[in-house]
Amino acid sequence: MKEAFIVESVRTPGCRNKKGKFKDTRPEELLAYIMRACVDRAGLDPAHLEDIMCGCAFPEGEQGLNIGRIAGQMAGFPDSVSGVTVNRFCASGLEGVTMANAHIKMGWSDVTLGAGVESMSFVPMGGHTPRPHAEYAAKDPAMYISMGITAENVAQRYNVTREEMDKFAMLSHAKAKQARDTGLFTEIVPTPAYEFKKTENNTYEKTHFMVEHDDGIRDETTMEGLAKLNSPFKAGGGVTAGNSSQTTDGAAATLIASEDAAKRLNLTPMGRIVGYAVAGCKSDEMGVGPKYAIPKVLKQTGLTIQDLDIIELNEAFASQAIHCMKELNIWGTDLMARVNIHGGAIALGHPLGCTGSKLTATCLANLKEVKGRYGLVSMCIGGGMGAACIFERI
Ligand SMILES: CC(C)(COP(=O)(O)OP(=O)(O)OC[C@H]1O[C@@H](n2cnc3c(N)ncnc32)[C@H](O)[C@@H]1OP(=O)(O)O)[C@@H](O)C(=O)NCCC(=O)NCCS
């Protein structure tokens, strides 16, 4: 197999669904912009780019048809740059990056982009017209239940307390605030956005502006404030808006080249993928997925959890992240200092199909910051799955 190198990896800020700065900016534009920025930052002439593999969890409406191809054309890439859209729900962006990597390793392409996008402002979770299979849903309703219910199930079945969840959420915001204020989100590319404002004569005016930061970080998060929130998912439950991931808009992209192409095109390797694993689990507790996927990728690569300098464990919900960390002997150990060092999805948001791609950029930036070697990106996935990918910094 050929060697594949990551030569650039970037993301847009993550902005709050319907309340945030990207609420009116179309997802194709976010994706086109970040892909173009990725290619330009690497110093690549787009004529050498061959294919785009883009994750999207609800590829319909404004992010439908084949956004992987459409956004490539909107980015100004030549007609020769093909594109595909892939869906593994919350791991879609990671699937995009790993597919782009696999095509290089197989020798099927020389230069590819792995990407991810989701505008939860334009397309809600579940899509606009969910149509579960009636007979199958009667037999297996868990396949279609709200992700929040699965998070409540994890908290209840594995005794994750409300205090543990709220403390974890508070820390996520505190780390994110600190990283934003000290300029540590080096993987973010300031991104143009627009909004439509109603004018006095009842027409709409389009105003343009730049977005530099994630806008879901709540600087004033306290345990008292979090404790006041009720569960929107279950009467008396402990999973709240404060300790769940935020629904978010964003896009991210990672440029990958074969060793030959990197040399020929003067691209500087920053990292590589050393292993990727996906595992299935029960759908009614989909949040436990990482506890199966992480050992699987460690076995595949011959590494141990101790070898990981950075662990980006998606905070879909505090309950599931905490349970997985307990099962993997991370919780309460020194390894905690390597987990989500600049906060996670509770503070920074979880733009479903973008997340794996976004965490790739974050993981590589954080590895560079701590001068580490191996970094992990892992997340749970709706329907009952987990994914885990190990990156090596070069
Ligand atoms: C839990 C959920 C339903 C909450 O949705 P929401 O009500 O739109 O959430 P918001 O972030 O707007 O927060 C609602 C309110 O909670 C309170 N709140 C949220 N975070 C808070 C914090 N850190 N401290 C104090 N209060 C907080 C605020 O009052 C906030 O209202 P405001 O924005 O007007 O200040 C939604 O975030 C969700 O579904 N998350 C999970 C997404 C998911 O399932 N992803 C897939 C995973 S597999």
Q: What CATH number does the domain containing 316 carry?
A: 3.40.47.10
**Based on the domain organization, do 378 and 286 belong to the same domain?**
yes
**Based on the domain organization, do 52 and 158 belong to the same domain?**
no
DSSP for residue 362:
H
Ligand 1 pocket test: pick from 245, 249, 315, 380 the residue with the most ligand atoms within 8 Å of its Cβ: 245
368 occurs within a structural domain = yes
pLDDT number for residue 12: 99
pLDDT number for residue 247: 98
pTM: 0.98
Rounded distance from Cα 317 to ligand 1 centre (Å): 11
Question: What residue numbers bound the domain in which 108 lies?
Answer: 4-121+189-195+202-215+245-271
Overall domain count for the chain:
2
**Based on the domain organization, do 48 and 82 belong to the same domain?**
yes
Mean pLDDT (10-residue bins), the chain, 394 residues: 98 98 98 99 98 98 98 98 98 98 98 98 96 96 97 98 98 98 98 96 96 98 98 97 98 99 98 98 98 98 98 98 98 98 98 98 98 98 98 98
378 occurs within a structural domain = yes
Rounded distance from Cα 388 to ligand 1 centre (Å): 26
**Based on the domain organization, do 57 and 175 belong to the same domain?**
no
Decide which of 256, 271, 286 is a domain's last residue.
271
**Based on the domain organization, do 14 and 116 belong to the same domain?**
yes
**Based on the domain organization, do 289 and 149 belong to the same domain?**
yes
Asked if residues 384 and 154 have their Cβ atoms less than 8 Å apart, the reply is no
134 occurs within a structural domain = no
97 occurs within a structural domain = yes
Rounded distance from Cα 244 to ligand 1 centre (Å): 7
Residues with catalytic annotation?
Answer: 90, 350, 380
Atom 37 of ligand 1, nearest CA residue: 246
Asked if residues 77 and 49 have their Cβ atoms less than 8 Å apart, the reply is yes
Instruction: Please tell me whether residue 50 adopts helix, strand or coil conformation.
Output: coil
96 occurs within a structural domain = yes
130 occurs within a structural domain = no
31 occurs within a structural domain = yes
Atom 34 of ligand 1, nearest CA residue: 19
pLDDT number for residue 330: 98
Decide which of 232, 256, 271 is a domain's last residue.
271
Q: Residue-wise over 158-185: b if at least 16 C-beta within 10 A, else e?
A: bebebebbbbbbbbbbbbbbebbeeebb
Rounded distance from Cα 326 to ligand 1 centre (Å): 25
**Based on the domain organization, do 23 and 85 belong to the same domain?**
yes
C-alpha to C-alpha distance for 386 and 50, rounded to whole angstroms: 29
pLDDT number for residue 267: 98
The DSSP H or E segment spanning 370 is helix 355-370
List ligand 1's pocket residues with C-beta within 6 A: 90, 147-148, 173, 218, 221, 225-226, 229, 232, 241-242, 244-247, 316, 350, 380, 382
84 occurs within a structural domain = yes
**Based on the domain organization, do 255 and 339 belong to the same domain?**
no
**Based on the domain organization, do 290 and 349 belong to the same domain?**
yes
**Based on the domain organization, do 144 and 278 belong to the same domain?**
yes
**Based on the domain organization, do 148 and 289 belong to the same domain?**
yes
**Based on the domain organization, do 250 and 295 belong to the same domain?**
no
206 CB burial (10 A radius; 0-12, 13-18, 19+):
exposed
